[in-house]
Chain A
Amino acid sequence: MNGGFSGSPGPPAQIAATAVSVSFGAKAALEGVSVSVARGEWVALIGPNGAGKTTLLRAIGRMIRSSGGIELAGHQISRLGQRKLARLIAYVPQHPVLPPEMTGLDYLTLGRTPHLGYFAVESDADRRICLDLLDRMTLGDMADRRLATMSGGEAQRLVLARALAQQAPILLLDEPTSALDLGRRVDALELIDELRTERSLTVLSAIHDLTLAGQFADRLVLLHEGRVAADGEPAAVLRDDLLSETFGAGVDVFRTASGHLAVISQRRDSGR
């Protein structure tokens, strides 16, 4: 099994968002944001609550209306049909809807929807893709279990598996690990990284934990009040002055013994 998109070279930018603006009523959520993500690259969106991370992901996935230009693998998203869009881009929401009575396999096969005709049901080939994914994600015994019985970590991997079942070359992840403990969080991000390499996926994710963002992403885009405040390699974005200003709290950035950047917040009254 492969991602199915390993062939054609295509343009370098899989995601090219140019001067994207979104407003909800009178409130501007994004103002002229430009972000591009190259094929196979992992870019993390960071920034405080309300900075526009989720809004940008939703605009790129065409879940909300936006102005400006968004191209996915060279296609203007406004010109794509819904199915074609879903074959290009798979989305993992921060709070996925998990119908409690649905079984793991039924949930996973939803990911095959963009590949099926409107009246068709899944073929054996579709089912095989899903079962292989269950194995790959160590979810083999989840096929017949109801979602209501799954732990947070299992459900989170299942949602990721559903996105992979779409076999889209671009993955949008909105806080994919927010429900997980420290260990599961690293496991999940390692898994995403493995799959990205394995299937040459392009990943754009919103992520709260700055240290993890710096460890896993190739590049960070710092959003602040709906604009891009910084864009670059982790070492260029994870700077204490920049983060302190954006997040409105004192921040220290250290380089650990293992060579990673660690971001630690300061107490308000520490008097440093």
Chain B
Amino acid sequence: MAEAAAITAEQVKHLAELARIAMTDVELERMAGEIDTILSHVARVSEVATDEVPATSHPIPLSNVLREDVVGTSLSAEQALSGAPAQDQGKFLVPQILGEE
């Protein structure tokens, strides 16, 4: 697995679409080269990641924390909207979400 094939600009284009970042062809080419360089280096991790080794997701053991079920203070609608690029009638105003038929 470590010796994966080189990352292509086409693959990076797909990643950029997943990550919602518009990129030019020049950027895609450059990014493909850079990501390939990094991956070919970091893929070494699989050399020592044997089945006997458990994964660690968090550095300190933690258990989930729930707060008391009581009403507390929270942001007002006005505060929550204060940084919005656009708003209307106390709501976030966003561009068209669904495709038009």
Asked if chains A and B come from one complex, the reply is no
Binding site for A on B (CB under 8 A): none
